[in-house]
C-alpha cells in the first residue's frame, strides 16, 4: 500500500518519537509513506473563531493530498484527523459551500474532489494492515504484560460524523495491543479525557484530569499506558511530574505510543523508535519485556 501522510504541527515540532516510530514500523508492514509538500495547519485551532478559515485550511491540505493521485491519506494526529473528517462532512452536505472553498483553492491551482480516504493510526493498522500481517512481523512477544489503552476524545467523538471506533465501547486499540501478546484490560476511567484542551486556560484542571487517570491506571497494577494521540501523550508522558504534583500523588507509569510498542515487538532498536525521548519511566516496561 502506498499512502500520503500528513504529520500536522505537533508531531514534527514536539512529538518526534511518534513520527520516528511510524516511519520505522509502517514500511515494514508494507505501507509506503509519501510526504506531502506545501501543506499547512489542519485548521482545527481556528474552528471556533472562523469556520470559513478552518474549512479552507483543512480542505487545502486534502486537495494537496488528492493532487498526488494517491487514494489514501494517513493522519497520525487525532486532532488533524478530526479536522479533516469534519471538513469532509460539511463539504459533502453543502454543495454551495464546497464551490465557495474550491473557488479560493483555485488561486493555487487546487481543487477538492472528495476522492481521498483518510486513515488514523489505529484504523490503518486494524482495518488495512490487519492482524495476520502484524503478527507475522513480531519477533518478541509481549506476553505477561498488562497494558491500559487510552483512545483520546478526538479519535472517537463526535460519533455523528463517523470516527475511528465505537464512541462508547472502542476496542480496536485494545485488540491491536493483544495481537502483540500483551493483555489489555478495560477500566472505569478508560474514556476519560486527558485534559489537554484545558491546558492553556485552566492548567491545574488539565493536570488534574491527567493525573487522576494515571493514578487510577497505576492503582490497578497496569504495566503501562498505550496512546495514539500526540496531545494525550504530552499530558501523560511529558507532564507526568506536573500531573503528580497537582494531585499530590506519586506517579511512575510508563507511557508510550502504540507504534513504539509495536516496534519493540518487531525487534526494532529502541532509539530508532524514539523511546529515549519519552519522559515517563519506559525503562521499567523495557526491563519487563527483556
Domain boundaries, the chain: 2-119, 130-289
pLDDT, tens only, 173-191: 999 999 999 999 999 999 9
Q: Is the pLDDT of residue 200 over 90?
A: no
**Average pLDDT of the residues in 242-253:** 98
The answer, yes or no, to whether residue 162 has pLDDT greater than 90, is no
Q: Do domains 2-119 and 130-289 have the same CATH topology?
A: no
Q: What is the mean pLDDT of the chain?
A: 97
Which percentage of the chain shows pLDDT scores above 70?
100
What CA–CA distance (Å, rounded) separates 72 from 1? 9
Report how far residue 247's alpha carbon sits from residue 58's, in angstroms, rounded to the nearest whole number. 37
CB 77 within 8 A of CB 118: no
How much is the average pLDDT of 15-24? 98
Q: What's the topology of domain 2-119?
A: Glutathione S-transferase Yfyf (Class Pi); Chain A, domain 2 (1.20.1050)
Check pLDDT > 90 for residue 160: no
Which of the 8 DSSP states describes residue 164? S
Average pLDDT over residues 91-109: 97
User: What's the Rg (C-alpha) of the chain?
Assistant: 19
Q: Name, in order, each residue with C-beta under 8 angstroms of 101's C-beta and a sequence gap of 6 or more.
A: 52, 55, 56, 59, 91, 112
**Is it the case that residue 159 has pLDDT exceeding 80?**
no
The pLDDT value recorded for residue 158 is: 85
Q: In the predicted model, is pLDDT for residue 75 greater than 90?
A: yes
Check residue 221 and give left, alpha or beta (phi > 0: left; psi -120 to 50: alpha). left
The reply to whether CATH 3.90.1300.10 applies to domain 130-289 is: no
pLDDT at residue 245 greater than cutoff 90:
yes
Is the per-residue pLDDT at 39 higher than 80? Answer: yes
Q: Answer yes or no: are the C-beta atoms of 162 and 85 closer than 8 Å.
A: yes
Amino acid at each position: 500500500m502506498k499512502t500520503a501522510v500528513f504529520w500536522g504541527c505537533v508531531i514534527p515540532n514536539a512529538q518526534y518519537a511518534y513520527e520516528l516510530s511510524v516511519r520505522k514500523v509502517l514500511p515494514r508492514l508494507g505501507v509506503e509513506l509519501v510526504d506531502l509538500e506545501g501543506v499547512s495547519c489542519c485548521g482545527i485551532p481556528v474552528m471556533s473563531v472562523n469556520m470559513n478559515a478552518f474549512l479552507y485550511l483543512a480542505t487545502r491540505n486534502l486537495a494537496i493530498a488528492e493532487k498526488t493521485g494517491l487514494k489514501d491519506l494517513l493522519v497520525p494526529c487525532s486532532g488533524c484527523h478530526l479536522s479533516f473528517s469534519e471538513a469532509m462532512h460539511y463539504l459533502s452536505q453543502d454543495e454551495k459551500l464546497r464551490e465557495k472553498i474550491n473557488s479560493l483553492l483555485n488561486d493555487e491551482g487546487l481543487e477538492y474532489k472528495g476522492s481521498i480516504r483518510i486513515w488514523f493510526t489505529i484504523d490503518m493498522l486494524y482495518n488495512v494492515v490487519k492482524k495476520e500481517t502484524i503478527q507475522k512481523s513480531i519477533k518478541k512477544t509481549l506476553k505477561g504484560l498488562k497494558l491500559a489503552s487510552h483512545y483520546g476524545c478526538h479519535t472517537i467523538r463526535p460519533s455523528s460524523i463517523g470516527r475511528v471506533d465505537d464512541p462508547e465501547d472502542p476496542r480496536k486499540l485494545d485488540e491491536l495491543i493483544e495481537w502483540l501478546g500483551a493483555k489489555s484490560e478495560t477500566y472505569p476511567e478508560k474514556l476519560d479525557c486527558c485534559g489537554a484542551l484545558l491546558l492553556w486556560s485552566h492548567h491545574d484542571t488539565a493536570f488534574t484530569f491527567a493525573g487522576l487517570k494515571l493514578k487510577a491506571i497505576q492503582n490497578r497494577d497496569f504495566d503501562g499506558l498505550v496512546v495514539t494521540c500526540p496531545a494525550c501523550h504530552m499530558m501523560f508522558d511529558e507532564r507526568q511530574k506536573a500531573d503528580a504534583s497537582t494531585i499530590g500523588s506519586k506517579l511512575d507509569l510508563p507511557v508510550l505510543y502504540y507504534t513504539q510498542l509495536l516496534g519493540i515487538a518487531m525487534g526494532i532498536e529502541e532509539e530508532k523508535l524514539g523511546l529515549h525521548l519519552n519522559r515517563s519511566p519506559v525503562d521499567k516496561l523495557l526491563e519487563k519485556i527483556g
